[in-house]
Amino acid sequence: MQKLTLLCLFPLFAFAGNLPELLSLAEANKHVEASRYELEAAKEKEYATKSGYLPSLSFGANQTYNQEESMLYPEKSRTGSAIVSFTIYDGGKREALFDQQQALVKSATFSLASVQNNTSLNVIYYYYNYISTLASKEATLQKMEQLEAERYRLEKFLSVGSATADELQKIISTIEQTKVDLLTLDNTLNNISNTLEYMTGKEVRVEPGSTIAFQESKVNDATRFDILALEQSVQSAKAEAEAAKSPHLPTIKIEDTYSRFKYDYANPAWETDADHQNTVQLSMQWKIFDFGSTSASYQAAQKMYLSKNSDLAYEKDKARASFKSAQNSYTTALAKIEAAKARLSASEMTYELVKKKFQQGIVNNVTYLDALSDKFNARSQLQTALNEVEYQKAVLLYEMGKEIKGAIQ
Mean pLDDT score, 15-23: 73
For residue 72, being part of any structural domain is answered with no
- Asked whether 43 and 105 are in contact (CB, 8 A), the reply is yes
Q: What is the pLDDT of residues 374-391, one digit of tens each?
A: 888 888 888 889 999 999
| pLDDT given at position 220 | 60
- Asked whether 87 and 233 are in contact (CB, 8 A), the reply is no
For residue 65, being part of any structural domain is answered with no
In the chain, the number of structural domains is: 1
For residue 262, being part of any structural domain is answered with no
For residue 76, being part of any structural domain is answered with no
| pLDDT given at position 219 | 62
For residue 113, being part of any structural domain is answered with yes
Smallest CA-to-CA distance from 186 within 228, 145, 130, 146 is with 130
Range picked from 65-69, 138-142, 270-274, 299-303 for highest mean pLDDT = 299-303
Task: Compute, in degrees rounded to 10, the torsion defined by CA atoms 369, 375, 381, 386.
Answer: -160
For residue 108, being part of any structural domain is answered with yes
Mean pLDDT score, 159-166: 74
Structural domain for 29, as ranges:
2-54+90-250+286-407
For residue 194, being part of any structural domain is answered with yes
Provide the strand spans (E) within 194-300. Answer: 204-206, 251-264, 276-285
DSSP string, 25-56: HHTTSHHHHHHHHHHHHHHHHHHHHHHTTS-E
- Asked whether 396 and 330 are in contact (CB, 8 A), the reply is yes
Q: What is the pLDDT of residues 268-319, one digit of tens each?
A: 777 777 788 899 999 999 988 889 898 999 999 999 999 999 999 999 999 9
For residue 78, being part of any structural domain is answered with no
- Asked whether 83 and 256 are in contact (CB, 8 A), the reply is yes
**Pairing outcome for strands 15-17 and 204-206:** parallel
Q: What is the pLDDT of residues 236-275, one digit of tens each?
A: 999 999 999 998 899 999 999 999 988 877 777 777 777 8
CATH of residue 122's domain is 1.20.1600.10
Instruction: Report the C-alpha gap between 181 and 137 in whole angstroms.
Output: 8
- Local confidence band at 38 (pLDDT 50, 70, 90 cut-offs): very high
